[in-house]
Amino acid sequence: MKNKVRDLWALFQKFFFCFPALQQLALMRLIVSASLLGIYIWRQFVVGFYFSNETGLVLEEQAKTLLPELYQPAFYWFFWPDSWNPWMHGLLLLLLCGLVLGLGGRLWTLLTWILSLAFIQRNYFVIYGADLIGTAWLFYLSWTRHNVYFSVLNIINPERVKKNYLDIFSSAGARIIQIQLCIIYGFTGLHKLKGLSWWDGSALWHVLGNRQYAVMDLSWVAQWPLLMGVATFTSLFFEIYFPILVWNQRVNRYLLTFGVLFHVGIALTMGIWSFGAIMVSAYLLFLKESTLIKLKHFFIKQPLVMSLEHKV
């Protein structure tokens, strides 16, 4: 019995604290911060409309009552006066720019998370999935050494990359992101089972046929009810079984490929590119560093080699 407990404890430690994912974390940080930066740059021009007590959509004292009591946070990070909104939002943009460039580490990321969460709490009406998931990723990334790779600091000091030691917090943060992604997909898929349209296969048609959601006229898909039914049930299968299948090395590459296509399809039909990019960024943690190197070699070096061979 003691040996079994010891073996389980060793497996637990290996899983959470020995996960080499610094390159994956760096690339994920780049995608997440760039996506959030795009969202907040646009909002910088309408800060008063979104977050002002004088001209905004929601007063500060009303912001805390917008959510049901069960979902209200225990305390709020929105602590500054209303007149500071443009400056604090500008500071958030600067912090996100620093993350894109790889300038900041753990404390930098934690401060970015606090400001991002504060603006979310200030007006829940203007946020969507990209805000919520992106802010969650920022929190977990603040545990990690995500700026070892893909950082402008490496241009100034190339020796930084050689100090790419893995610490237990980086490993644990990467694993928590993986687990959180599984929870998001599993909960979303199971929650959809409450809707009758997901049982009769018409759910996607209700989305694609509604011009409030679709970015173009997709009413022609009504002529393909079988296709809509298959796509609906395939989406359900993907989300519900993602937490199980993604850990299987034999099928996870196909599952992740489908997930990328899944989010690209959502982006093309509904125009929410930032959400898709932020979700797919976590897929990188399910790829080995050797796989990333192969992909980098394929997309960057292979054309150069082919062109040289052609010249010869």
> Has residue 279 been placed in a domain?
no
> Has residue 47 been placed in a domain?
yes
Beta carbons of 90 and 44 less than 8 angstroms apart: yes
> Has residue 266 been placed in a domain?
no
Measured CA to CA, the distance from residue 63 to residue 57 in angstroms comes to: 10
- The whole domain housing 48 covers 22-166
Radius of gyration of the chain (CA): 22
> Has residue 72 been placed in a domain?
yes
Nearest residue to 108 (alpha-carbon basis) of 157, 158, 152, 143: 143
Nearest residue to 243 (alpha-carbon basis) of 273, 272, 204, 282: 282
* The pLDDT of residue 178: 97
Identity of the amino acid at 279? M
> Has residue 46 been placed in a domain?
yes
Measured CA to CA, the distance from residue 269 to residue 266 in angstroms comes to: 5
Check: pTM over 0.95? Answer yes or no: no
Angle between helices 106-122 and 22-44 (to 10 degrees): 40
How many degrees, rounded to 5, is the angle at CA 116 between CA 110 and CA 121? 125
Beta carbons of 23 and 289 less than 8 angstroms apart: yes
> Has residue 304 been placed in a domain?
no
* The pLDDT of residue 307: 36
Cα–Cα distances in angstroms (integers) from residue 116 to residues 33, 160, 181, 277, in the given order: 11, 29, 20, 18
Class of residue 267 by CB neighbours under 10 A (exposed 0-12, middle 13-18, buried 19+)? middle
Average pLDDT along the chain, 312 residues, taken 10 residues at a time? 84 88 93 95 86 76 75 80 88 96 94 93 84 95 93 85 80 96 96 89 81 75 84 94 94 94 91 92 88 64 39 36
Instruction: Give the pair of three-digit tokens for residue 72.
Output: 């209200």
CB atoms within 10 A of CB 181: 23
What's the total number of domains in the chain? 1
> Has residue 190 been placed in a domain?
no
> Has residue 224 been placed in a domain?
no
